[in-house]
Amino acid sequence: MAATTDSGAGLEVHNPLQSICYKRGSLQLLDQRKLPLETVYLDIQHAEDGWSAIREMVVRGAPAIAIAAVLSLAVEVFNLDDFNGTSDDAASYLFKKLEYLVSSRPTAVNLSDAATKVKEVILKAAATASDAKKVFQAYIEAAENMLEDDVASNKAIGTHGAIFIQNQLKDSDRLSVLTHCNTGSLATAGYGTALGVIRALHTEGVLNRAYCTETRPFNQGSRLTAFELVHDKIPATLVADSAAAALMKDGQVSAVIVGADRVAANGDTANKIGTYSLALCAMHHKIPFYVAAPLTSIDLSLSSGKQIIIEERSPKELLNSHGGLGEQVAASGISVWNPAFDVTPAELISGIITEKGVITKINNGDFDIKNFVKRAAGQSVA
């Protein structure tokens, strides 16, 4: 992966909140490890570059991971000049590459969901295409459509969330919202999920203040969310992860809004480590706790969060400063447990905000997610 910066003469200048810069045959990913002090884009030329960028946290956030993965393969096949196989060979080639890309981050369901959807496109193309080139073309177009759809989805999440929260909360003209990790433009193809709701509330003129946690150990909150909030001139305050409970106790938080890497059929939600703690604190202080995520984050194959695979990260992220990239700060020889995510039980969640509306609890106190997804897809509900 070759690196370029936006400050160099003759280089294309990108929006600093644009994590994915794509045009057919070319993909650049903003190296989020270097934010907010440096703006560096890495050239992604093939699936192996995409896998490394995802695994090494160059790009992160469930929606952005999915888009970056499929686009990295789109760039590879667009520039593939020496492929001599049949249409079936092209389909097999793409399938193997997609399976490889899915292995980069196992917890975010968006990635596997995207792979499943483009595999369907590949199979249809292979069944009718006369040569490999047409299969590759169908794949590239499908990947590009995902990029466009993600931005539209995020804006719809912001709109639905802002309207719902204003209708649910007292004093909705002066809301203060706490968020965790980074769920904005940098975690998606643009605008954001939970941070998109905060953007929408700010646009409506009802947001008094946004609070963001630092989100250790990789500091996505202090480095990325704070960067986005300052860039958009949204009134915001950064707090230590351990200060969130005290902030709630002081009456400074109207609602908590977080993103999701995977939502089980019962509403249990996997998100960045520390989310579960915030949900417990919110329930104790009688503060609504919302999850904002696209429907692609819902995994109906999992009955509960107990089945969600939780990725464990390198011990270096705790042992060294700067999320493992800096000098050692912990005692040598100490053992480390570093899960990237935790699971928040559905009973702690007040609502799940999607691009098709808000999933709320029915009379028995459970989420009716399966039927919501069916209705969103235009299917009949028994």
Residue 261 appears among annotated catalytic residues: yes
Nearest residue to 180 (alpha-carbon basis) of 251, 238, 227: 238
Q: Label the pairing between strands 269-272 and 289-292.
A: unpaired
CA dist 120 → 68, 98, 124, 135 (Å) = 19, 12, 6, 12
CA dist 309 → 72, 94, 236 (Å) = 24, 25, 33
Helix axes 132-168, 109-128, angle to 10 degrees: 140
CA dist 87 → 18, 26, 68 (Å) = 35, 24, 24
First to last CA, the chain: 50
Identify whether the C-beta of residue 167 lies closer than 8 Å to the C-beta of residue 84.
Answer: no
Q: Which two tokens stand for residue 356?
A: 């098709």
Q: Label the pairing between strands 175-179 and 255-258.
A: parallel
CA angle 66, 161, 205 (to 5 degrees): 120
Identify whether the C-beta of residue 161 lies closer than 8 Å to the C-beta of residue 353.
Answer: yes
Identify whether the C-beta of residue 268 lies closer than 8 Å to the C-beta of residue 326.
Answer: no
- DSSP state, 202? H
Helix (H, G, I), strand (E, B) or coil at 177: strand
CB neighbour class for 8 (10 Å; exposed up to 12, middle 13-18, buried from 19): exposed
- Could you identify the residue written with the tokens 């409970």? 245
Burial call 95-110: b when 16+ CB within 10 Å, e when fewer:
bebbebbbebbbbbbb
Identify whether the C-beta of residue 194 lies closer than 8 Å to the C-beta of residue 188.
Answer: no
Which residue out of 31, 113, 261, 342 is catalytically annotated?
Answer: 261
Report the catalytic residues: 261
